[in-house]
Amino acid sequence: MALVEVVKAVAQRKNATPAQVALAWLLAQKPWIVPIPGTTKLHRLDENIGAVELLLTGDDLS
């Protein structure tokens, strides 16, 4: 739960959702790491796509 709270705090600072922060973190790791989120809801797909535009600082990533 401590990690969840950290992700929520970063999301709040970035005006994003926790899911976007999690996906952006994965995208920032290595170029060959590609998250494959699944959803059946169009609004969740839009939310997931928003992670691509989320810029995380070095502090955010650590």
**Is the whole-model pTM more than 0.95?**
no
Instruction: Give the number of other CB atoms < 10 A from CB of residue 18.
Output: 16
Query: What pLDDT, on the 0 to 100 scale, is given for residue 3?
Result: 92
Query: What pLDDT, on the 0 to 100 scale, is given for residue 25?
Result: 95
pLDDT tens per residue, range 14-36: 999 999 999 999 999 999 998 88
Provide, for the chain, the percentages of residues in helix, strand and coil under a 3-state DSSP scheme, each rounded to the nearest 5: 65, 0, 35
Place of tokens 């995208």: 27
pLDDT at 38 over 90: no
Query: What pLDDT, on the 0 to 100 scale, is given for residue 57?
Result: 93
Q: What percent of the chain has pLDDT over 90?
A: 84
| 2, 32 Cβ separation under 8 angstroms | no
